[in-house]
Amino acid sequence: MIVVKHSNLRVTMDINHSNTICFIKHCKAIKDSHFTRKRKLPLHQLLLSILSRKGRTLTMEIRSFIKSIKSKISISKPGYLKQRQKLNPEVFLELSDFHVKNFYKDRTMVQRLKGYLILAVDGSSVNVPNTAQNVELYGNASHKNAKPQAQLGISCLFDLLNKMIIDCTINKWKFSERNQALLHIDKCNSITGEKPRIVIFDRGYPSGEFFIDLMKRNESFLIRIGATVFKKEQLAMTADDEYVNIMFDKSRLSPHKGTQTADKLAKTGSIPLRFVRFTLDNGSREYLATNLPMEEFSTSEIVYLYRLRWEIETAYNVLKNKFFIENFTGTKPIMIEQDIYATVYLCNVMHDILLDAKLEFNIKNHQKYKYKMEINKNIAIGIMKEELIRFILEKDKGKKKEMFDKIIVEISSNILPVRNGRHYKRTKGQLSGTYSNVNKRSF
């Protein structure tokens, strides 16, 4: 059986898009005259150098890149950094948007649950180089009287089944996760199309105003509720799954007195929601709020949906501990944001390639193994980092296809068994030893 490499087609479309006039215009961060003159390092090579970086010293990064493109030119560190400061970071987000849009247009690849895309929103902190400029721009995350630590916040809308980062924003260290979530949702239709979706949130998101904003947008949602949020409704539950009516009475309006939030809550009066209560393995109880009807999703299906949310935590782990998103090229904010958005784009390309590799593996190894097998993401990232530049630089279409097929085959041959039901006690704090035996870098 011949496997059509959909990711190959999309990466090729990305390359073509990066050569368009609109994209090149978007690349110019400061002046329209940038990237017009012939330089030692033209725009397309500058973009490639950022995508191919491996977290080494800048001198070694430049040296490695020059060798990979088989060039005889010599580029100094100041010259390279000067070119980087001309580049708009958001061009990598544009590339990511373009790639993900084409992914959702491909109906053969998109996975759904009961016809819904299953999405999640969450934020995370990212340590950045500790300069006065970064502390002022992004914020100081350290405790009082402690040494300053510059840190920014990122927020992502993530597809839990298809493993795509649909949207990503860079913010100050302290930012409104709810506001960012609404911005992600408002952008979502332009990326995925108007497909039915369920958006899942964790404990930091629920509030009366947030529920109202979601319902006005006709969003289907599922939110974990903390022990102190809507406690009156939690205590009044007589079953593990029931409809409740949340009243916005004086006690809920008074904390927002004199604000637009108070006016919004008072005007709405009340909202109907479904509360689901379930017990964790350790005996503690958790509560979920949703507007999904009982006729469509049972109690057990609601709990299953929420547990899918863990995939966004895994995505952040991949960004931080597989792609090493916090290992920046330089200290300037423009380069920090270039590196972050470039990593988001690469993460989406990697997951797209993994879908093709998984299909290749399933066809060749149907019912061959005792355990369910998963492709080793760490190795996949290393292979992609090594081979993607060669693929992009190759001009011959036949050779390009052959190279991409080899990438898929090599990735699909690096697998790990999934042994369900294994639980290990969590070890907190720094383990002894400088180098971990289980967390090796692949590039």
Q: How many CB atoms lie within 10 A of CB 221?
A: 25
- Using CA atoms, how far residue 27 sits from 87, 95, 378, in Å, is 5, 11, 30
pLDDT of residue 10: 94
CB 68 within 8 A of CB 49: no
pLDDT of residue 1: 43
Q: Where are the domains of the chain?
A: 208-308
Q: What is the 3-state secondary structure (H, E, C) of the chain?
A: CCCCCHHHHHHHHHHHHCCCHHHHHHHECCCCCCCCCCCCCCHHHHHHHHHCCCCCCHHHHHHHHHHHCCCCCCCCHHHHHHHHCCECCHHHHHHHHHHHHHHHHCCCCCCCECCEEEEEEEEEEEECCCCHHHHHHHCECCCCCCCCCEEEEEEEEEECCCCCEEEEEEEECCCCHHHHHHHHHHHHHHHHCCCCEEEEECCCCCCHHHHHHHHHCCCEEEEEECCCCCHHHHHHCCCCEEEEEEECCHHHHHHHCCCHHHHHHHHHCEEEEEEEEEECCCCCEEEEEECCCCCCCCHHHHHHHHHCCHHHHHHHHHHHHCCCCCCCCCCCHHHHHHHHHHHHHHHHHHHHHHHHHHHHHHHHCCCCCCCEEEECHHHHHHHHHHHHHHHHHCCCHHHHHHHHHHHHHHHHCCEEEECCCCCCCCCCCCCCCCCCCCCCCCC
Whether the pTM exceeds 0.85: the reply is yes
Q: Return per-residue pLDDT of the chain as tens, 443 residues.
A: 444 568 999 999 999 999 999 999 999 877 887 887 777 888 999 999 999 998 889 999 999 999 988 888 889 999 999 999 999 999 999 999 999 999 999 878 899 999 999 999 999 999 999 999 999 999 999 888 888 899 999 999 999 999 999 999 999 999 999 999 999 999 999 999 988 999 999 998 999 999 999 999 999 999 999 988 999 999 999 999 999 999 999 999 999 999 999 999 999 999 999 999 999 878 889 999 999 999 999 999 999 999 999 999 999 999 999 999 999 999 999 999 999 999 999 999 999 999 988 887 776 665 677 777 888 989 999 998 888 888 888 888 899 889 998 999 899 888 888 777 666 666 666 555 556 666 677 66
Query: Which tokens hold the place of 104?
Result: 């959702």
Measure the CA–CA gap between 236 and 244, rounded to whole angstroms.
9
pLDDT of residue 366: 58
pLDDT of residue 389: 82
pLDDT of residue 431: 57
